[in-house]
């Protein structure tokens, strides 16, 4: 086996590991951003609760259908139960965290793109190394 193939294999293995770690990091970022956005949505939604249902003039639904309608107080309690007081006051903090995560996500995406480009370039320069990489995978 040539020295170039051995050197490329180590590099390819390192690049594969880097790419794997960066992909895992992207998944974690997505989960955290999802949680932050949900928290922001909940804070905004609970600040301006909708009006009670079934009170519109000329409501076309029958009395029997309206019997199944949950009470307004039940809905409000269900939505607000467990929501911390002052959640709306934390919107700036939550949005700042989301912006910071978005910047970090962009950096991780650039790093993943760079590692992928380098991986492909290394394979193109030394096709024999790709066979060794396949052996590692299998």
The number of distinct structural domains making up the chain is: 1
In a domain, 7, yes or no: yes
pLDDT in tens, 76-114: 888 887 766 677 788 899 999 999 999 999 999 999 999
Q: Is the residue at 56 inside a domain? A: no
Rg (CA), the chain: 27
Give one DSSP letter per residue of 26-92, joined into a string.
HHHHHHHHHHHHHHHHHHHHHHSPPPPTT-STT--S-HHHHHTSPPHHHHHHHHHTTPPTTGGGGHH
Cα–Cα distance for residue pair 48/80, rounded to 1 Å:
12
- From CA 20, how far away is CA 49, in angstroms rounded? 44
Tokens 């003039």 belong to which residue?
Answer: 57
> Which of the pair, 97 or 57, is modelled with greater confidence?
97
How much of the chain exceeds pLDDT 90, in percent?
A: 35
Q: How confident is the model at residue 9 (pLDDT cuts 50, 70, 90)?
A: low
Which tokens is 90 given?
């934390």
Q: For 18-51, how does the pLDDT look when each residue is reduced to its tens digit (9 = 90+)?
A: 999 999 999 999 999 999 999 898 888 888 888 8
Look up the domain containing 124 and give its range. Answer: 3-50+62-137
Has residue 35 been placed in a domain? Answer: yes
């Amino acid at each position: 086996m040539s020295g170039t193939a051995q050197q490329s294999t180590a590099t390819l293995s390192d690049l594969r590991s880097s790419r794997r770690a960066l992909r895992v990091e992207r998944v974690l970022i997505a989960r955290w951003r999802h949680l932050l956005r949900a928290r922001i949505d909940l804070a905004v939604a609970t600040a301006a609760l909708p009006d009670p249902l079934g009170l519109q003039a000329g409501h076309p639904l029958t009395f029997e259908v309206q019997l199944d309608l949950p009470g307004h107080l039940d809905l409000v309690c269900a939505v607000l139960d467990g929501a911390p007081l002052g959640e709306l006051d934390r919107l700036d903090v939550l949005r700042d965290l989301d912006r910071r995560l978005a910047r970090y996500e962009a950096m991780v995406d650039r790093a993943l793109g760079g590692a992928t480009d380098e991986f492909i370039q290394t394979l193109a320069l030394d096709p024999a190394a790709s066979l060794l990489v396949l052996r590692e995978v299998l």
